[in-house]
Amino acid sequence: AKDRGRNTYEFYTEELTRKAFERVLLESNLRLAVEREELFLNYQPQIELATGRVVGMEALIRWNHPELGLLSPTRFIPLAEDSGLIHAIGEWVLREACRQARAWCEAGLEFGRLGVNVSRAQLQRGRLFEDIQSALAASGLPPERLELEVTESFIMEQDTLAVEQLDRLRDCGVSIAIDDFGTGYSSLSYLKRLPVHKLKIDKSFVLDIADDDNDMAIVAAVISMGRKLGLTVLAEGVESARQADFLLENGCHEAQGFLYARPMPHEAVTAFLREQAPK
Q: Which stretch binds ligand C2E (CB under 6 A): 12-20, 55-63, 123-131, 224-232?
A: 55-63
The answer to the question of residue 74 lying near ligand C2E (CB under 6 A) is yes
Using DSSP's 3-state secondary structure scheme, residue 207 falls into coil
Q: At a CB cut-off of 8 Å and minimum separation 6, what does 207 contact?
A: 215, 237
Amino acid at 156: M
DSSP for 101-164?
HHHHHHTT----EEEEE--HHHHHHT-HHHHHHHHHHHHT--GGGEEEEEEGGG--TT-HHHHH
Q: How many C-alpha atoms does 112 have within 13 Å on its Cβ side?
A: 20
21 binds, options Ca ion, ligand C2E, none, Cβ within 5 to 8 A by partner type: none
Of the candidate residues 29, 30, 44, 191, the single one contacting ligand C2E (CB under 6 A): 44
Amino acid at 20: A
Of the candidate residues 93, 148, 219, 244, the single one contacting ligand C2E (CB under 6 A): 93
Q: How far is the CB of 59 from Ca ion (least distance, A)?
A: 9
Nearer to ligand C2E, 5 or 236 (CB): 236
Of the candidate residues 8, 17, 28, 72, the single one contacting ligand C2E (CB under 6 A): 72
List the interface residues with ligand C2E, window 155-194 (CB under 6 A).
179-180
Of the candidate residues 156, 216, 239, 240, the single one contacting ligand C2E (CB under 6 A): 239
- The residues that touch Ca ion, with contacts defined as CB under 5 A, are 117, 149, 179-180, 236
Closest CA to 118 of 105, 127, 109, 110: 127
Of the candidate residues 29, 46, 100, 119, the single one contacting ligand C2E (CB under 6 A): 119
The answer to the question of residue 237 lying near ligand C2E (CB under 6 A) is yes
Residues 147 and 177: their CA atoms lie apart, in Å, by 7
Residues 225 and 218: their CA atoms lie apart, in Å, by 10
Q: Which residues bind ligand C2E (CB under 6 A)?
A: 44, 59-61, 72-74, 77, 93, 117, 119, 149, 179-180, 203, 236-239, 257-258, 263
